[in-house]
Amino acid sequence: MQSHSMAKTYVILSSLFFFLEMAMAKTIPTTLDGPFKPVTRRFDRSLRQGSDDLPMDHPRLTKRVPTNFPEQIALAISSPSSMWVSWVTGDARIGSNITALDPSKIESEVWYGEESGKYPFVERGVSMVYSQLYPFEGLLNYTSAIIHHVKLQGLEARKKYYYRCGDSSLKAMSDERIFETMPPSGPTMYPHRIAVVGDLGLTGNTTTTIDHLARNDPSMILMVGDMSYANQYLTMGGKGASCYSCSFPNAPIRETYQPRWDGWGRFMEPLVSRVPMMVIEGNHEIEPQVDGITFQSYLTRFAVPLECGSSSNFYYSFDAGGVHFIMLGAYVDYNQTGAQYSWLRRDLLKVDRTVTPWLVAAWHPPWYNSYSSHYQEFECMRQEMEALLYHYGVDIVFSGHVHAYERMNRVYNYTLNPCGPVYITVGDGGNIERIDIDHADDPGKCPSKSDNMPEFGGVCHLNFSSGPAKGKFCWDEQPEWSAFRESSFGMGY
């Protein structure tokens, strides 16, 4: 009788656990489930759609070290055994008649080791400056402080390192910082948490996003483009605009206020001097200046992995544990005849899925997007590259650019496909341009084909060739390839 009762209790308990497991499995669906029925969480239009930029004299943006001392310290992964350390020394100059600083006047050293206060190793690197020149009546020029990049090599995986950077001969070293390297490449080890954020800016909302992100203690940050929004300003500074062309219709060129980049570097330092941030360029990094020169701030301020065989800072790849990340450039040649596509094909060929089972790609403007904003803007890039990524089984694609969240069902060539990637748009870090709230399927919100012109590359807007929207530019309802969309600021993990 007793054993019967125990058996019964066992059956009841195991059934309970079974149903509990089923219930939990139902609560947290994985990307292997689906396709999901499209869901939209609409924006409450009584709320403000954004917040103002932090002013330059905000405590998180002001310089706090003497002139030769390092500031704006940042990390980037180069390979599982190497890490970039970047920082800035000296003072940027702004005016109509300015000369650039000489970067050879100060050393780039990182002293580091495995114990706090002991630095048995030293690496030296490079230093450089850039200028942002606007030869127009009344506009000011900018020349940067000295930007340093040092690559620490021969690091052990999943290990803490303590470091100080600067110039030891000038006794101008930073205080001690700490970082942890990624786990080794392999199918069983992963970074414990990866933060994904885009279109960050430097507003009150940005502050909320970054403080939240820091509290969640990520192992690395994927930054999918549009960072400082220095190009929402005139060269004189002043107040940034949420709509540049509306506020500054007579500007002779898309001006920038480059000190915003320095403010952004200081704002990010407490986080990115201990957590590596992997960046890719967005349209707000284009920053045109004299002679057609572009992207000077992006190219000079950020170090990216070189081990992947890319010869350009505009696209690269790297491993973090069992994940191979591919970062693509949407604002450089993405055509099948170009250097980026050739590199991408070579990189994908080299991926060993037994070592890195996960293949994650990221670029700035999304290919799949059902918001009115930027609708089909980078359709040409999709047409050039989608088949290659599909062929190699990319699992997830992260993008920004659209200032809202959207997660797609697995899709290929605008058709639901269980082997296609899950596309996720996270262009809602908190920037000054405000949140996007209109959907292309809302009544009267389908953009015209002349809207949403890309800032680089061709225009390939198309009508759908099959499905419920066959023959039309926009769907009448949330498209089946869009699983969930919500207009709110934040980030992902």
Residues 343-402 that bind Fe ion (CB under 5 A): 401
Contact 386, 349 (CB under 8 A): no
DSSP structural state of residue 106: S
Minimum CB–partner distance for residue 456 and Fe ion (Å): 11
Closest to Fe ion by CB, 125 or 329:
329
Contact 80, 72 (CB under 8 A): no
Residues 209-228 that bind Fe ion (CB under 5 A): 226
Closest to Fe ion by CB, 89 or 399:
399
Minimum CB–partner distance for residue 436 and Fe ion (Å): 11
**First vs last C-alpha separation in the chain:** 52
Closest to Fe ion by CB, 148 or 401:
401
Judged by CB under 5 A, does residue 454 bind Fe ion?
A: no
Spatial separation of the C-alpha atoms in residues 270 and 266, rounded to whole Å: 8
Closest to Fe ion by CB, 86 or 452:
452
* C-alpha count within 13 angstroms, C-beta hemisphere, residue 288: 9
Closest to Fe ion by CB, 219 or 283:
283
If binding means CB under 5 A, how many residues of this protein chain bind Fe ion? 4
Q: Which residue is nearest to Fe ion (CB)?
A: 401
Minimum CB–partner distance for residue 334 and Fe ion (Å): 16
Contact 90, 167 (CB under 8 A): no
Residues 226-265 that bind Fe ion (CB under 5 A): 226
Contact 402, 373 (CB under 8 A): yes
Helix (H, G, I), strand (E, B) or coil at 419: coil
Region of 4-12, 243-251, 282-290, 413-421 interacting with Fe ion (CB under 5 A) = 282-290
Quickly list DSSP for 90-102. Answer: S--EEESS-----
Spatial separation of the C-alpha atoms in residues 310 and 296, rounded to whole Å: 19
Quickly list DSSP for 211-268. Answer: HHHHHT--SEEEE-S--S-GGGSBTTBS---SSHHHH-TT-SS----THHHHHHHHHH
Contact 344, 294 (CB under 8 A): no
Spatial separation of the C-alpha atoms in residues 54 and 404, rounded to whole Å: 21
Question: What does the radius of gyration of the chain's CA atoms come to, in whole angstroms?
Answer: 24
Minimum CB–partner distance for residue 245 and Fe ion (Å): 15
| Six-digit token string for 232 | 């929402």
Residue of 90, 183, 282, 305 interacting with Fe ion (CB under 5 A) = 282
Closest to Fe ion by CB, 270 or 492:
492
Minimum CB–partner distance for residue 468 and Fe ion (Å): 29
Spatial separation of the C-alpha atoms in residues 83 and 75, rounded to whole Å: 7
Closest to Fe ion by CB, 93 or 401:
401
Catalytic residue status for 58: no
Q: Which of 374, 401, 403, 439 is catalytic?
A: 374
Adjacency order of strands within the sheet including 39-41 = 39-41, 482-486, 405-408, 422-426, 396-399, 358-362, 323-327, 316-320
35 prior amide bond cis, ω within 30: yes
Residue of 131, 174, 203, 283 interacting with Fe ion (CB under 5 A) = 283
Minimum CB–partner distance for residue 364 and Fe ion (Å): 6
x/- letters, 71..90, toward Fe ion (CB under 5 A): --------------------
| Six-digit token string for 25 | 């499995």
Region of 147-155, 239-247, 281-289, 387-395 interacting with Fe ion (CB under 5 A) = 281-289
Minimum CB–partner distance for residue 305 and Fe ion (Å): 23
Residues 143-202 that bind Fe ion (CB under 5 A): none
Q: Which residues pair with 228 in a beta bridge?
A: none
Binding site for Fe ion (CB under 5 A): 226, 282-283, 401
Provide the annotated active-site residues.
Answer: 374
